[in-house]
Structure 1
Amino acid sequence: MAEPLRIALAGLGTVGTGVIRLIETNAELIARRAGRPIAITSVSARDRSKDRGVDLSPYAWEDDLTSMASRGDVDVVVELVGGSDGPALTLARNTIAGGKALVTANKAMVAHHGLELARRAEDAGVALKFEAAVAGGIPVIKGLSEGAAANAIDRVYGILNGTCNYILSTMEDTGRDFADVLSEAQMLGYAEADPTFDIEGVDAAHKLAILASIGFGARLDFASVDTAGISRILAADIAQAAALGFVIRLIGMAELESADGSCRLFQRVQPHLVPVDHPLAHVDGATNAVVAEGNFMGRLLFQGAGAGDGPTASAVVADIIDIARGEKGATFSMPVSELEEMPRAQSGHRRGRNYIRFIVPDKPGVLAEITAAMRDADVSIESLIQKGRAEAGGEVLLAMVTHEGPESAVTRALELLDGSDSLAQPPLVMTIVGK
């Protein structure tokens, strides 16, 4: 058998220790599939003395992780530190400059610096792989860049954040409010101590930008992802959605729009109402799911564990096996120079149905003012629900579902209501996913 592929592992958190366990447990199987053994030679983390439940004595320890790329006994550096900049980015640049392959699970770094790193990797003739950066153990990167490579992809969308999906599906099952379920998710390890990136949609936006680039052959454009999270969703919203035949899920959606002979890229992360008979409605807990629609393959659904030591480590090691086999490939499915710069698509012309929720004081004239604004903006109301909230001092939850119409009409209606004494807090708008 060929000489081992030698690995330096930066970051020994849940995923890093999972990679060690996987490589040690399945060493013989991995070697047979890779055509050569995979050998970890060095590791690095912030705290050398911490007990991580794995034996680190066989591996050299590097106090400065950014220097791992200069070691002579390393062919591939695996970056599991995280963060879009700082030591992770320095390590990535040093690795590629040193002529070594890079494997990372760092979606933030890829979303912000992926084009730069891909260009550097092309110039250096080394592999840059990040299957674990999107949807944990689901092979969606490989599925889009290889399995669906012959297709023109029209739309990519899905549930891209396990923390949000756990919170929403738990609220759905228990009737509890957001803050209570978030605390539980933190206690169980599904949410970080600072959950902002997850619950405000940033993590999902990082992943969506990466999927859009690979799926559409577009230059990465994270800054153009329209992003909203789930922190304003109430248990009452969950209940109203259920009464209407929907569940609420945080969905990232990327879609190509053609106009005047050019393509524009629509990218959005926000909570949606999903019909109960839609495949995404049955994605519960910390699971992720990605749907891709192509002109010849039709609709593909990728579903599985979106996080965790085992699934994410599996994706990391799959990338290492590809490198061991000599399978390099273009980072974003085609050379950086071939990626198309697509202008941001505006959303006002997009047509659909919406759920709009208001929290209003329980007093005469409020409903008339809101419905008048809808009328003046040419928003047609399909159904309207009013529910008292005694615990909130007499405020009332007012929810409506609109008939299909342009987003610009809903935006105009809310502009007409902006600053009104009839609103106790800003309205919440959620798009309804079509079947």
Structure 2
Amino acid sequence: MTEPLKIALAGLGTVGTGVVRLIETNAQLIARRARRPVQITAVSARDRTKDRGVDLSAYAWVDDPAELATREDVDVVVEMVGGSDGPALAIARTALAHGKSLVTANKAMLAHHGLELAETAEKAGAALKFEAAVAGGIPVVNGLIDGAAANAVERVYGILNGTCNYILSTMEDTGADFGDVLADAQRLGYAEADPTFDVEGIDAAHKLSLLASIAFGARLDFDAVECVGISQVKAADIAQAQDLGYVIRLIGMSEVDTAEGSPRLFQRVRPFLVPTGHPLANVDGPTNAIVAEGNFVGRLLFQGAGAGDGPTASAVVADIIDIARGEKGPAFAMPVAELEVMEPAASGHRVSSFYIRFTVPDRPGVLAEITAAMRDAGVSIESMIQKGDPDQDGEVILAIVTHPGPESGVVEAVRILDGSASLIAPPLVMQILGS
């Protein structure tokens, strides 16, 4: 009989216990597809007395998760601890240094330390797999590494955070404001008690940086991702977008920009207005969806559950099966030494239409000041909507949609108005997708 692939699990939270259930439930199917049995031999977590709803008695328990990587009965370490540094990074470094393959769903750790870990894996002849780190159960990492391998990918963009998508689509359906929907999302378990990483776009930025590296053969550069979250989006913005034929989605977008001569990497996470006819406009709830555009394959759409124990565990075990088959290729589709260093791309020359929302006092002269700033910055106005805010006496929501033009113009108009007594709050600027 073929020797089993022996697995150690570090972290037994929702996803970790999901991996145990999946391997136990589908053991025979997994063995047939992996061409060898997959066997859990050891586990580690902070509290060995906690009832996790799965029987762990058959597995060795290790208090220090980094020790999993030194055991002779372990071939692959599955890291489910989380966090960009600390125990998770120690586990990853130790596993790869000992020649053990590593499977992780830890997008934060990879965004900050992925190149180091990939290089260590290459030197050790081990695999570094992270399908579950991007979009849960959606096979977008392998889709780009293998399925689109023959293509020059021109653009990758999509909905990369289920919490934000749940909040925005619920705001559409109910007319409620951001704070109320966030509180509901926390109560239902869609948002963390501290939702900052999700709602400020950081989680999506981690994922985007990984996709960009794979898609464009670029060295990871998380620090270069321009990141704006959804916390400033109002119910009024949602309603006005709908009146204009759009929905609002938090979109991560990356592409190679050659406008400045040498190739530069453009990476952005921010709320976009998405035309209702676009595939991403119909992605509701905690769903993720990623679009990749290749020069021969055209547009590819990857869509599905972006989180949860079942989908994420499915992606983790898919990586384990790949390793069981002997698939240990470079983590980012090519060796680290061959990944190209790309400087961050400027955004000022990029041409698009924009939605700009101003919160202003209801008094004469305000509109004239705003339109003068647009004129002086060279921004052409396509349409304008002005509505009073029923919750704030004397406040008016003024929304402007621009004609396509360079982004630098909108930035300049906002700069001109900075500090103006005509603005009650800073403007919210959202790009219109595909314009």
Instruction: Give distance in 1, aligned partners of 2:391 and 2:75.
Output: 61
The aligned counterpart of 1:274 is 274
Aligned amino acid, residue 358 of structure 2: F
Q: How does 1:162-201 map to 2 (within 5 A)?
A: 162-201=162-201
Matched residue SS, 1:317: helix
Q: How does 1:20-419 map to 2 (within 5 A)?
A: 20-259=20-259, 261-419=261-419
Query: What runs of 5+ residues in structure 2 fail to find an aligned partner?
Result: none
C-alpha root-mean-square deviation of aligned residues, in Å?
0.8
Aligned amino acid, residue 415 of structure 1: R
The Cα shift of 1:62 comes to: 1.0
The Cα shift of 1:390 comes to: 3.3
Aligned amino acid, residue 83 of structure 2: G
Cα deviation, 1:98-146, whole Å, max 9, x if unaligned, reads 1100000000001000000000000111000000000000000000010
Query: What runs of 5+ residues in structure 1 fail to find an aligned partner?
Result: none
The Cα shift of 1:363 comes to: 1.1
Cα deviation, 1:170-197, whole Å, max 9, x if unaligned, reads 0001111111111111111111111100
Stretch of structure 1 that moved more, 201-210 or 358-367: 358-367
The Cα shift of 1:393 comes to: 2.4
The Cα shift of 1:226 comes to: 0.1
Instruction: Give distance in 1, aligned partners of 2:228 and 2:417.
Output: 20
Aligned amino acid, residue 341 of structure 1: V
Matched residue SS, 1:379: coil
Instruction: Give distance in 2, aligned partners of 1:164 and 1:260.
Output: 33
The Cα shift of 1:71 comes to: 1.1
Aligned amino acid, residue 104 of structure 1: T
Instruction: Give distance in 2, aligned partners of 1:8 and 1:220.
Output: 28
**TM-score when normalising by structure 1:** 0.99
Instruction: Give distance in 1, aligned partners of 2:388 and 2:41.
Output: 63
The Cα shift of 1:372 comes to: 0.6
Matched residue SS, 1:231: coil
Aligned amino acid, residue 11 of structure 2: G
Report how many aligned residue pairs link the two structures.
Answer: 435
The Cα shift of 1:260 comes to: 5.9
Change (3 A) 1:196 1:260: closer
The Cα shift of 1:222 comes to: 0.2
**TM-score when normalising by structure 2:** 0.99
Matched residue SS, 1:183: helix
Instruction: Give distance in 1, aligned partners of 2:51 and 2:196.
Output: 28
Instruction: Give distance in 2, aligned partners of 1:193 and 1:261.
Output: 45
Change (3 A) 1:396 1:148: same
Cα deviation, 1:228-276, whole Å, max 9, x if unaligned, reads 0000000110000000000000000001111465211100000000000
Matched residue SS, 2:383: strand
Aligned amino acid, residue 300 of structure 1: L
Cα deviation, 1:133-172, whole Å, max 9, x if unaligned, reads 0000000000001000011011000000000000000000
Instruction: Give distance in 2, aligned partners of 1:176 and 1:391.
Output: 12
